[in-house]
Amino acid sequence: MNNQIIVFLKALLGSCKDLLPIILVIAFFQFVVLQQTMPNVGDILVGLVLVVLGLTFFIYGLEMGLFPIGESMAQAFAKKGSISWLLTFAFCLGFGTTVAEPSLIAVAKEAAIVAASGGIIADTVESQLSYANGLRFTVAFAVGLAIVIGVLRILRGWPIQYLILGGYVVVVLMTIIAPSWIIGIAYDSGGVTTSTITVPLVTALGVGLASAIKGRNPMIDGFGLIAFASLTPMIFVMMYGMVIG
Amino acid sequence: MDLLFEFLNTLKNTVVDVLPILSIILGFQLLVIRKPIPHIKQVGFGFIYVLIGLALFLLGLEKALFPLGKMMAEQLTAPEFIQAGETVLTSIHWSDYKWVYIFAAAIGFSTTIAEPSLIAVAIKAEEVSGGAINANSLRISVAIGVAIGIALGSYRIVVGHPIHYYIIAGYIVVVIQTFFCPKLIVPLAYDSGGVTTSTVTVPLVAALGLGLASTIPGRSPLIDGFGLIAFASLFPIIAVMAYAQITEAKARRVEKKLEKRKRIKVNKRNLKQIQKDSSNES
């Protein structure tokens, strides 16, 4: 029990260190550059304590729950030997975690407002909603597909650079032909898809698969799933823009 | 009491967000794999810790950092701050925004250090590489990448260049680096682009982009406000590969030094041997 407390306190100290840069930056700009006093000091202190506690719990749970489940599922699928089930799982994981992602919902909503004000779609609530939903499902489908491609790559041992660099070429080509109002949104959509819970799960899945399959190196083959998940949405959102526009 | 209520509300939202993932995992585990989850109790507690942790984290950010950070982004981009006393910007020079670039870089760096998903990937990378990749060095390289990315992205909004010139140039750098950097780091570097921008970074960066785009004449907040996240996902790739290249170059230099020393030692030994031989002969 004592041992656990020491581990927890150490983790707590680590979280404080992780947070220190933000506190310094905010304090410097508030006092030195903007020359203002801190508003609601009490609220801020309570908030900081919560952030530190939250980060500590998250990392604690990460190594207890999220990493083990990702790896044990990867091993179970590898043992089962059914590629089609593994790919179905990969697609569901990518699609399911993205379609409900709050930051994606927020970006899609803003993108709908852009499109309506630019006259690309009718300026009604309904058409905005259908546009935002279309965008959301496009991105979710893209992420599902990305995880499928990424898992296939691990199974086959394809080198990642050709796939990713090939993807970049497609992004560049699409940028030339896609309508200009979609480009900023498309580029951003690559970054917002990967949430705090998806990332550890998907990473553990990739590393678990690469270590379960003979001849794969977990370092070279295990990482890279998230890279695909941030690349395909750009391509698909630009496609979506071309279809709508 | 209010705090507890707020916490429960955040926790509820977090659980709802996680529900799709949870049902996919359970569905496949029960219907396809059809085996009990190993160490189910531990994994279950782990999940609960993750949920509680995330809820506390988000609530704390909402309470402490987001309002302050967003307000700062607004104040630093406000015309009154940029051109003392003016309420409408007339002619702007990119250097008027020096504090914005510094703020962008500092906030990009510091929020990335606290980003939970990056911590997760860094822990995994250190574990898998057997310690060859240090979790903290990886996080610092990614954070430097985000800092440069967001500062450059803010500069782009100020001067109004089209975004794709920057992104395509960045891609070209990534392509060149890919061929010259150690193979082991490439997949991890590509991954680090996607993990940087989540819970902590996105809301603050979005506020900064919006503040810039809505105050600079000729920029539309709806069009130019986007794009900072793309910068924040591209530059970490370059930074992580650069980190690996620097580490490799350093290791090579140390090796060369050791070799040199060894050669000197061998030479000395040879010399002694020759001296001995010659003294024996005489």
- The alpha carbon of residue B205 is apart from the nearest alpha carbon of chain A, in Å, by 12
> H or E stretch including B134?
none
pLDDT at B147 over 90: yes
Supply the pLDDT for residue B18: 84
What's at A202, amino acid-wise? V
> Chain B partners of A57 at a C-beta cutoff of 8 Å?
49-50, 52-53, 56
Segment A79-103 shows an average pLDDT of 88
Mean local confidence (pLDDT), A113-130: 81
Whose CA is closest to B153, among B234, B241, B69? B234
Q: How many angstroms separate the CA of residue B80 from the nearest CA in chain A?
A: 11
* Beta carbons of A58 and B49 less than 8 Å apart: yes
Split at pLDDT 50, 70, 90, the class of B125 is very high
Map tokens 């999940």 to a residue: B47
Query: A51: pLDDT confidence band, cut at 50, 70 and 90?
Result: very high
Structure confidence at residue A214 (pLDDT):
87
Residue A168 touches partner B, C-beta closer than 8 Å: yes
**Do B184 and A196 count as a contact with CB atoms less than 8 A apart?**
no
**Is the pLDDT score of A102 beyond 80?**
no
- In terms of pLDDT, which residue wins out, B279 or A130? A130
CA distance B39 to chain A (A): 9
B195, A199 contact by CB (below 8 A): yes
**C-alpha distance from residue B175 to each of A25, A190, A212, A226, B196 (Å):** 33, 18, 30, 18, 20
**What local confidence, expressed as pLDDT, does residue A128 receive?**
87
Of A185-199, A203-217, B178-192, which range is least confident?
Answer: A185-199
Q: For residue A124, what are its two tokens?
A: 């009604």
Q: How far is CA A2 from the centre of its chain?
A: 37
CA-based torsion, B159, B160, B165, B171: positive or negative = positive
Number of other residues whose CB lies within 10 A of the CB of residue A230: 30
At B51, which amino acid appears? L
> Quick check: A58 pLDDT over 80?
yes
Q: Which residue has the tokens 């010259």?
A: B180
The ipTM (two decimal places) reads 0.88
> Do B190 and A224 contact (CB within 8 A), yes or no?
yes
Of the two residues B223 and B182, the one the predictor is more confident about is B182
The whole-number pLDDT of residue A41 equals 84
Partners of B45 on chain A (C-beta within 8 Å) are 61, 64-65
Considering the entire predicted model, what is its pTM? 0.88
Average pLDDT over all residues of chain A:
88
Q: What is the pLDDT of residue B188?
A: 94
Query: How many angstroms separate the CA atoms of B195 and B197, rounded?
Result: 6
- Which chain B residues have a beta carbon less than 8 Å from that of A53? 53, 56, 60
Residue A53 has pLDDT above 90, yes or no: yes
Judged against a pLDDT cut of 70, whether residue B175 lies above it is answered with: yes
Q: What is the Cα–Cα distance from B133 to B119, expressed in whole angstroms?
A: 13
Contact A83, A148 (CB under 8 A): no
Number of A/B CB contacts below 8 angstroms equals 335
The Cα B128–Cα B121 span in angstroms is: 10
**Mean of the per-residue pLDDT values of chain B:** 86
| pLDDT tens readout for residues A172-209 | 999 899 988 788 888 888 777 777 888 899 999 999 99
| Euclidean distance between the first and the last CA atom of chain A, given in angstroms as a whole number | 62
In this structure, what are the phi and psi dihedrals at residue A110, rounded to the nearest 5 degrees?
-65, -40
Which chain B residues touch A102 with a CB distance below 8 Å? 17
pLDDT of residue B81: 79
Q: Has residue B80 got a pLDDT over 80?
A: no
pLDDT at position B1 is 67
For residue B90, the model assigns a pLDDT of 62
**Does A29 contact B at CB distance below 8 Å?**
yes
The pLDDT confidence band at residue B261, using thresholds 50, 70 and 90, is confident
Count CB neighbours of B13 within 10 A: 15
Distance (Å) from the C-alpha of residue B279 to the closest C-alpha of chain A?
A: 57
DSSP of A20-67: HHHHHHHHHIIIIIS--PPS-HHHHHHHHHHHHHHHHHHHHHIIIIIH
Calpha distance A105→A200 (Å, rounded): 21
Q: Which residues of A touch B46 (CB under 8 A)?
A: 60-66, 68-69
**Residue in chain A lying closest to B230 (CA):** A188
Q: Which residue of chain B is at minimal alpha-carbon distance from A108? A: B226
Cross-chain residue pair A188–B35, CB shorter than 8 Å: no
Q: Alpha-carbon distance B240 to B207, whole Å?
A: 26
pLDDT at B63: 87
On whether any CB of chain B is under 8 Å from the CB of A144, the answer is no
Residue-level pLDDT at A169 = 92
Distance between start and end Cα atoms, chain B = 98
Number of C-beta neighbours around residue B19 at 10 A: 12
Instruction: Return the pLDDT at A5.
Output: 85
CB contact under 8 A, B124 and A67: yes
**pLDDT tier, B85 (very low <50, low <70, confident <90, very high otherwise):** low
pLDDT tens for B86-121 read: 666 666 777 788 889 999 999 999 999 999 989 999
Share of chain B above pLDDT 90, in %: 37
Contact flag A51-B64 (C-beta cutoff 8 Å): yes
Q: Residue B86: its pLDDT value, please?
A: 62
d(C-alpha B227, C-alpha B156), whole Å? 10
Q: Measured between CB atoms, which of A47, A185, A229 is closest to B63?
A: A47
Confirm if A11 and A59 have CB atoms less than 8 A apart.
Answer: yes
- CA-CA distance, A203 to A226, in Å (whole number)? 8
> pLDDT at residue B165 above 70?
yes
The pLDDT-based confidence of B264 (bands split at 50, 70, 90) is confident
DSSP H or E run through A109: helix A102-117
| Residues on chain A touching B60 (C-beta within 8 angstroms) | 46-54
Angle in degrees, 0-180, between the axes of helices A2-28 and A41-61, rounded to the nearest 10: 130
User: Which residue on chain B is closest to A111 by alpha carbon?
Assistant: B222
Average pLDDT over residues A127-134: 89
Residue A239 tokens read as: 């496609």
Q: Which residues of A touch B32 (CB under 8 A)?
A: 80, 85, 89
Checking if the pLDDT of A6 tops 80, the result is yes
Establish if A91 touches chain B: CB-CB under 8 angstroms: no
pLDDT tier for residue B215 given thresholds of 50, 70 and 90 = confident
- Mean pLDDT over B3-11 rounds to 89
Q: Cβ(A69)–Cβ(B43) under 8 Å?
A: yes
